Structure 1
Amino acid sequence: MPPETAKPTGTRGAVGTAVPAAPDHAAPEGPGAVAAAVAGARVAAEWWAGLGFAGRRRALLAWKRTLAGRIEELAAQIRAETGKPHGDAVLEVMLAVEHLDWAAKHARTVLRRRRVPSGLLAANQAASVGYEPLGVIGVIGPWNYPVYTPLGSISYALAAGNAVVFKPSEHTPGVGRWLADRWAEAVPGPAVLQAVTGGGETGAALCRAGVDKLAFTGSTATGRKVMAACAETLTPVVVEAGGKDALIVAADADLDAAARAAAFGGFGNAGQTCAGVERVYVERSAYEPFLTRLGELAKETRPGDEPDARYGPMTTPTQAAVVAAHIADAIAKGGRAVVGGPASVRPPYVDPVVLAEVPEDSLAVTEETFGPTLVVNPVRDLDEAVERANASRYGLAASVFTGSGRTAAVLAGRLRAGAVSVNAVLGFAAVPALPFGGVGDSGFGRIHGADGLREFARPKSVTRQRFAAPIDLLRLDRRPAALERASRLFKLRHARG
């Protein structure tokens, strides 16, 4: 932890400025370590905010270079804790680094103070708005994407001028420690980024530790608990929770491309992708051809522990049971297994499962499965597809496949989701300028892009009187004649158009 009072030394770090003596960055464990971490972050936050946009950019880009230069090492750590294939781990780091780079380079443009119009009544005032750091941000990360997802909050919070206390998932603590250690190497000085490891008790302690905002990614049920804990101290939260994301396939779509995308979105990362694909709605005339193509892809896909496997195991020991329950419920209610079935669940692996004509009230349609299963149902037209897609209480992401640009635009506008990909799945994930977040049980708030930077900043408005008001109404001894003239001008401006 950084000392309570840090004295500058002659050491010069990546930011090119004098920094206090470097503290011990070993990751503490358990709820008892949280209070000390947040206290240390308060000291670090003041130093970090004082560097300004240029200093923080230099530091963040130094960290970026460290992550990029040691990508194989980080990918190996991800693979060791999640079981995902090497290539998937490398891709995850690549995506995370792109977001880090964007946040570092665009923070000043998005958050700097700028003039805004004053309006007629305040024409004598120069008005501006700028964004200031909140202070200390708590981040609770997930295990399915232990680098990409939490860095979507960490990178933007740091770029906005905040210190961060990060609690990685208890299933991926080594990844969290690795990230904090590499920060300490790249940016000597107060511990602007700290990792505190542990289970749910550690997360609850972080919620109650008095951070200025908390960003959580995880299940909807846990998200509610996080909100309740944060409510005790009126700590604002960003919640990225579950998803039951739908893919709509129009009759005029490229069915080969749609099937490949559905397979990637549904089976990739063993289906453990909150913004992937779990439901597919296909116009009836294209239904059987699409189902045939998807079935062929599913049959040739197998999980394994090899570095080049298509996907790996269920990361948590309980998830396979959830997948099995959803498959059994879908079949019991009248759905049919086109590929796989109950025998596909062989912990820790689950083979691809394609379920067809599944009733809309089954668990496989209503609840987040978070496994390599796809429900594929026919619809009479695109209106019914949108209606079914929007019937979910979740609203994180959606996808549309169609040969018509106009149809795509209309459907994207009608879908109740935070992000929509057209003729692709997860297209938004690689675009740092785009905000990401959901509606309904998928949470609220946004990470990534300009909205993600502002999510971790406090707007401050400033006005400066440039000259005396021609008609001065902001005084106790306001003259009736002044109000009469102002009223005439008001009606000319607002009552005639």
Structure 2
Amino acid sequence: MTTTVTSSGAHPTPATFESLDPRTGDVVGVHPVHDEAAVRAAVERAGQAARWWHELGFAARRRRLEAWRKALVNRLEDLAAAIVAETGKPLDDARLELVLTIDHLDWAARNAERVLGPRRVSPGLLMANQAATLAYPPLGVVGVIGPWNYPVFTPMGSIAYALAAGNAVVFKPSELTPGVGIALVDTLSEIVDGRPLLQVVTGLAGTGAALCRAPGIGKIAFTGSTATAKRVMAACAENLTPVLVECGGKDALIVDADADLRAAADAAVWGGLANAGQTCVGVERVYVVEAVAERFTAEVVERASRVRAGAEIGPMASPSQAGIVARHVEDALARGGRAVVGGVGSVDGPFVDPVVIVDVPEDSVAVVEETFGPLLVVNRVPDVDEAVRRANASGYGLGAAVFSKRRGPQIAARLCCGMVAVNGVISFAGIPALPFGGVGDSGFGRIHGEDGLREFTRPQAVARRRFPLPSVTSFRRQGALMKALVGLVRLRHGR
């Protein structure tokens, strides 16, 4: 909700908006809508902080980031409570989000110098008189636009790595979770003596657009829907600001004939229903080989039937999200799918009980579109080849999972997506050294790991002449020299 507050004879004050508890609709907090001037001012302040931060060097930055890590540990329960208040997710889910965040921050702080520090590279035979070095200086100021479903873990995949690389950050949290963003930023303030190294700007879509257009932004890291990502890219194009976009997914889980069916079913239920299905790398489609389909489905039904909305899983983030789930369930059933857990009546207000539907046509919206809710589609296939074909048929390509005792890595290699978990689900997100990101409609660029650190830098190559040699890059070059050079290339590369 957005309001404009005025007083008689006075200039209008900035608009504000309310963040709500999705479980009850109660107001959790009231926050300002930062306009374009406020956003630009934040970016300017960040530019000054970025210069100080970069000049500290890797070792000093690491010490401060490690102090932040300790602060997050000490504030873990307070931050978890803030996450619960604005998302409604179970407390232990909020705690897990923070535990993973802290581990990623630690990895980024410890590995930044190794990955990004200057290093020598071979100049090659033809340029043997040169010393070649490569470094990765920071971009300066990075803008991060975060989502509501994992309001700490997901944006920190950009924030922690951007800071470790030497940048300052301006963070625009989702309008559904602004309080979480503010609480996160506050934990760093004392450690950097109040410098505006990590700032938060709150607001609606206009605030995010202002951040994309702000002069001085070196890169925008965005997480959200594919449709919004296109608008972000259009706004960034005005200043040729590079972007990293992590969009939605329609992740598939493949169950081979030799899979551990109990483990596969447990993974499918967790991957599809955790966080009420509101997970970009959550399982939305399952393709199970015909020979084990009945046994696997029975295991899924037994586990999913025990998951209750309001207990093991929280609410939908908004009424519109619940409406999407309802539409997908209705279409799947109307197209011939069969509900084995829940059904149309499972969608009741903000809470949606688990729904598992089998034998859903591949052109149903429940198979084609991202649901982002506790709906799991289980379709049987004649063999793994068909499972791979269907998994790759989606325009999305974020993550996937494979259960197979003998062929897991081989099946994973055939999937067109950014990450794959073999005999597990979503495990790649918890490994800081692995890059995270998608292809196709799921976006491009990477957070986490070495690629995630380099994402927030600009490679700088330097060639330095160590001693003089006859030069071919001069108008005084001799024909004999070029003849010798061509002969050397033929000898070295022509055979």
TM-score under structure 1 normalisation? 0.92
Residue identity matched to 1:339:
V
Deviation of 1:324 after TM superposition, in Å, equals 0.2
Give the corresponding residue for 2:268. Answer: 262
- Pairing of 1:344-423 with structure 2 (within 5 A): 344-404=346-406, 407-423=407-423
> Does structure 2 conserve the Cα–Cα contact (< 8 Å) formed by 1:63 and 1:187?
no
Q: Deviations over 1:266-319 (max 9, x none)?
A: 000000000010000000011011111101111111011xxxx21111122210
Aligned with residue 295 of structure 1, among 281, 301, 311: 301
- Aligned 8 A contact 2:129 2:467 in 1: yes
SS in 1 for 2:458: strand
Mapped pair 1:60 → 2:65: yes
Matched, 1:252 2:258: yes
Alpha-carbon deviations, 1:442-482, whole Å to 9, x = none? 0000000000000000111111111112x421211110011
Q: Which residue of 1 aligns with 2:7?
A: none
Tell me the SS of whatever aligns to 2:196.
Answer: coil
Choose which of 26, 30, 36 in structure 1 pairs with 2:34: 30
Aligned twin of 2:242: 236
Query: Is the 2:33–2:204 Cα contact (8 Å) retained in structure 1?
Result: no
Cα displacement string for residues 2-21 of structure 1 (whole angstroms, at most 9, x for unaligned residues): xxxxxxxxxxxxxxxxxxxx
Q: Aligned residue for 1:176?
A: 181
Give 1:185 deviation, angstroms.
2.0
Q: Secondary structure at the match of 1:215?
A: strand
1:201 corresponds, among 200, 206, 211, to 206
How far does residue 31 in structure 1 lie from its aligned partner after superposition?
Answer: 2.2
1:9 aligns with none
Cα shift at 1:28: 6.1
User: Is there any run of 5+ residues in structure 2 with no aligned partner, and where?
Assistant: 1-30
2:148 to 143, 157, 165: 143
Q: CA deviation at 1:403?
A: 1.1
Aligned-pair identity (%): 62
Alignment correspondent of 2:136: 131
1:160-196 per-residue CA deviation (whole Å, 9 max, x = no partner) reads 0000000000000001100111111222142100000
Aligned equivalents of 2:412, 2:465: Cα separation in 1: 46
CA distance in 1, matches of 2:317, 2:354: 16
Aligned residue in 2 for 1:432: 432
Separation in 1, partners of 2:435, 2:266: 26
Q: Which residue of 2 aligns with 1:486?
A: 485
In the aligned structure 1, how far is the partner of 2:447 from the partner of 2:59? 22
Partner SS, residue 361 of structure 2:
coil
The answer to whether the 8 A contact 2:45-2:196 is kept is yes
Could you tell me which of 202, 218, 225 is aligned with 1:219?
Answer: 225
Distance 1:451 1:460 in 2: 16
5 Å-filtered alignment, 1:455-494, equals 455-469=455-469, 471-494=470-493
- Indicate if the aligned counterparts of 1:62 and 1:187 stay in contact, CA closer than 8 A: no
The 1-side partners of 2:257 and 2:485 are apart by 61
Q: Is the 8 A contact 1:255 1:290 kept in 2?
A: yes
**Which of these residues, 320, 328, 335, is aligned with residue 333 of structure 1?**
335
SS in 2 for 1:235: coil
Letter in 2 for 1:323: V
Runs of 4+ in 1 over 4 A off after TM superposition: none
> What does residue 452 of structure 2 align with?
452
Q: Secondary structure at the match of 1:458?
A: coil
Asked if 1 retains the 8 angstrom alpha-carbon contact of 2:247 and 2:442, the reply is: yes
Cα distance per residue 1:77-135 (max 9 Å; x no partner) = 00000000000000000001100000001000000000001011111000010000100
Instruction: Answer yes or no: is the 8 Å Cα contact 2:273–2:375 preserved in 1.
Output: yes
Once residues 297 and 170 of structure 1 are traced to their aligned partners in structure 2, the CA distance between those partners, rounded to angstroms, is 34
In the superposition, the TM-score normalised over structure 2's length comes to 0.93
8 Å contact kept, 2:233–2:243: yes
Q: Which string of whole-angstrom CA distances, capped at 9 and with x for unpartnered residues, describes residues 239-284 of structure 1? A: 0000000000001101000000000000000000000100000000
Q: Which residue of 1 aligns with 2:53?
A: 48
Q: What is the root-mean-square deviation of aligned Cα atoms in Å?
A: 1.1
SS in 2 for 1:165: strand
Kindly tell me the number of residue pairs found equivalent between the two proteins.
464
